[in-house]
Chains A and B, each alone.
Chain A
Amino acid sequence: MRKYTFLAVLTVALFFAMGSMAYANFGPHGGYSDDTDSCAACHRAHTSFSPIQRTNYLGGQPIGTIGSALLVSSAQSMREFCTVCHGNDAPGASTNVVAGVFDGGPSAPFGTPIDPGAGILYATNSSFGATLNAGGFSYLGGNAPVTSMHSMAPEDPSSPLTGTVAPLWGFGSAADTSRQLLSEFTCTSCHDPHGSTNYRLLRDALPGGAVGGYNAAGQPDPFVISSEEGYPVLGWLRQEAGAAQMADYRPNYTAPQYRNTGLQGENISGWCAGCHQRYDESGTMYDYGNFLAAGTEAVGAMPFHRHPVNRPVGMMPNTSLSREPVIDSKIPLERTMAAAAQTTSSATWGYGDMLGCLTCHRAHGTNATMEGWAESSLATGSGETTWVVELDPGSGGVNPNQSSSLLRADNRGVCQRCHNM
């Protein structure tokens, strides 16, 4: 036997022969049995040579890196490691996050039961060839170059976003007006490849604090859940019990089917605020801190205001209840806990459904383009305290970000799709 026995990443699934069949539907990410071999898919206890370090947590909060992550291979970055399978070259996973497309099987007609006899051991409700819910880091839907991304260095060196290091907007306390740069942002900044209580392996802890996790009794306390078919809304259990939950789960990677927990701050937007901390500032509903001090956009000691989240769209004034609350599927809402799971490829929304961060923004990247007033800047008018908006063609967006800001629709289409009077 060779000295180094390397197992594959994203390959190891679990067959549990006792009782009903249970499946590790989605690669080696979570649901581990006591005698799992999944660890060896990515780690070596004594023979790792990857320089990547693991994140250390104290009280549920990351406090820096400590020691080696013991990863197999010599990956210099987590992105390299993850895109061996989730990339745009030789296929190793159906979720191609570089091209932002669901481009491989197996998939099955919606509602198709898993039939071990036929050998279809897992299925999704995703649409082949469709754009991933979160978008992509280089392209959207496989073809369209992205115009903004969640700040990780793009996979494709020809991308215009190569080398972009964006500010971490809203990071820190309300009084903090500095710009925290996302210089080390990577896949595992948001996702925990070992599984978590949250939807899509979203981490249970972020710099702003716990955003999921297990209570003292070992029960999950997730922030992010979904209305996908078979999704365990109480959160993912640990180990073999978690694997058993996957047996009935049909993820939909191409049609957002979000769900709001209904708990104050413990929802998708609350999870995002684990880094964008001031966006969830609870002192007031919409104010989250002082305007940025740095840069030309400084307008003095005035508070920011933000669009409300975690509110049913039916609360909007002047809304006709005789029509859909959003006019197309570009704008997903979050179903309430009382709503039924969604077993179709697309989602329909009601006025009781809620909006959150992902209603307007994609998590990975978007190809939305900005023109007209969607490319503008604040500028001083005749007096120092008078600020006006000026067209800023070619800037790529509005200041201070000047990009498409992960928006789902061109220009301000995300506004019009709800405020469609």
Chain B
Amino acid sequence: MHSRKRTRRIVMVVLLLALLALIIVLFINYRATRQIGFDFEIDPEAVLAPPVHLFSFSGPPEDPLQRPIGIRVEDDRVYVSDSRRSVVDVFDLDGQRVGQWQHEEMRIPLYIAKNPVSEVFYVSDRRARTIHRFSAEGEYLGQFGPELPPDQLPQFETGDVQWAPVAFDFAEDGSLYVTEILKGHRLLVFDPEGNFERSVGTAGQVASAEDAPLLFQFPNDVKVFGEEVWVADSNNRRFQVFDLDGEFLRIFPSEGLPRGIDFLRGPSQSTEGTASLRFAVVDTLAQDVTFWAKNGTNLARVGEPGVLEGQFAYPNDLSVAASGRLYIADSANGRVQVWGWPQDEQPIPTPVTPFQWGLCLSPLLLLPLLFALRKRRFFATADFAETAFASGLAPRLPAFKRRWLMLESELERIADLADGTVKAKELFSITEHSESDASVLAKRLEITNREAQVLSIAQRSRFFCTEDLELRRLARLLEIDVLNAEEFAERFPKKDS
């Protein structure tokens, strides 16, 4: 048996055995679980693939972002506050600026949120010590007046300033939660009509992040998620969690300088039952984004300090889009970075489960067909063709799975041969020899160049057809399957065999 044939058969057997093994395993698992596929996820809550940097944007070159501080994604718009330019820039999800909000009263805009009931946007302002209100079209609607009761006002001279709001968010019913740093550092709760309801906590520094709930130190973000209000107690390196009534629930130590937080909601980060358990945190000093599970597991970390793509310079806030993309205010770099999970970005989703992978790879099962359909190469010399045409064998040469090859110089000699519908110039295709292969053969067998050229092609063909006795002898020496016209007629007795 020829060595190439043996190798092919071994490969085929191995592939078939592997396929058989896979089918057996799937069958056994199916009998046990009534499900097709493997469950590779050991602990879904503890696994999160890190996102990758997708792109960045900073607005038009003539008026780029200078110091983006707060960022908020609502529907198909990205709202970015710029403390240097005293504006809120509005971008589409791809980073094209589509609007800009500004007003003479707005000085150092910080954080942004939308009232889900009135659909009015709110923007806190560090210098004006207020919260501005804008319509979705950017029309200035005045300021949110906290109308704090007397016992909630600072007990020292403030020049009629009631508060110094920093960060805030809305509940679904329009209730407003605001951190402020004038009368202590605290969380203020307002009802959906904007009436003051209660003040929670006061200012204080803690030695251990897990100590002393209700003490805040420069709380720089608030996010309402479901029935919980998360407050980034930034300088105390932790989050404090409250219910919607402002009752303290628990402390979540984060370390670092957490300033921006948002909850993950993309398809690849949320599995059933765990969607609410994962969130991303911007750490301004560490200059990275960390991902956490609700149970305190640190899932992933991305970013590093610097100015290149994917590197941060004192990032300050982030917001997660419905698609799962993260929009991060890369403050000192004057840009917004967009991170995401590639599988969420692909129009055709990447398979995840073994069953999905099996479906994707199933076309490979058709590979053996290629072997079956492959045309066998018949390399012939001119004398073989002359004999075949002279003996009436020519009509049996063509076949669906045969491809006849001949050197150009020899084909020119027999181009005019024909037998009925079979014409030599149509039956044979020109092929070329490999000079390196031919020279090796010539040196090894001490044969002529022409013989070496023919044999080098014959080696790469399934059958070598010739009447030349010397070539036949040499071909057999090289374990080439060689046939003359008589042998061909015996080997292939029917036209389409």
Contact = CB atoms under 8 A, between A and B. Distances in A.
Main secondary structure of the interface of B (DSSP, over half): loop
B215 interface: yes
Interface stretch (A97-105, A171-179, A212-220, A227-235): A97-105
A6 B285 contact: yes
Given A72-B286, A90-B110, A105-B182, A119 B201 contact: yes
Contact of A121 (B205, B235, B237): B205
Interface residues of B, number: 63
Contacts of B314: 73, 80, 84
A328 interface: no
B255 A7 contact: yes
Contacts of A93: 218
Interface in A99-158: 99, 103-110, 112, 118-122, 127-129, 142-143, 156-158
Given A72-B286, A103-B127, A128-B156, A89 B207 contact: no
B127 A2 contact: no
B145 interface: no
Interface residues of A, number: 55
Contacts of A345: 157
A74 B287 contact: yes
A1 B205 contact: no
A15 to B, nearest CB: 4
Main secondary structure of the interface of A (DSSP, over half): loop
B220 A158 contact: no
B203 A106 contact: yes
Interface in B264-312: 283-287, 290, 298, 301, 304-306
A268 interface: no
A83 to B, nearest CB: 9
B154 A107 contact: yes
Nearest to B259: A90
B205 A13 contact: yes
B34 to A, nearest CB: 40
A8 interface: yes
A129 B286 contact: no
Q: Which of A103, A142, A143 lies at the interface centre, i.e. has the most chain B CB atoms within 10 A of its CB?
A: A103
A104 B182 contact: yes
B206 to A, nearest CB: 7
Contacts of A103: 126-127, 129, 164
B305 A73 contact: yes
B84 interface: yes
A1 B254 CA distance: 11
B156 A119 contact: no
Given A105-B203, A156-B84, A127 B290 contact: no
A94 B395 CA distance: 99
Given A37-B207, A156-B84, A91 B285 contact: no
Interface of A: 1-2, 4-15, 23-24, 37, 49, 72-74, 80, 84-85, 88-94, 99, 103-110, 112, 118-122, 127-129, 142-143, 156-158, 345
Nearest first, the 7 A-B pairs at minimum CB distance are A74-B305, A13-B205, A6-B286, A11-B235, A8-B257, A119-B202, A106-B203
Given A108-B155, A121-B203, 16 more contacts: A8-B234, A11-B217, A11-B234, A49-B305, A74-B287, A74-B306, A80-B314, A89-B331, A90-B317, A104-B164, A106-B183, A106-B185, A107-B156, A119-B202, A120-B203, A121-B215
Interface of B: 66-67, 69, 83-84, 108, 110, 126-127, 129, 154-159, 161, 164, 166, 181-185, 201-207, 211-212, 214-215, 217-218, 220, 234-237, 255-257, 259, 283-287, 290, 298, 301, 304-306, 313-314, 316-317, 331-332
10 contacts: A6-B286, A8-B257, A12-B205, A24-B205, A88-B126, A90-B220, A91-B218, A103-B129, A121-B203, A127-B156
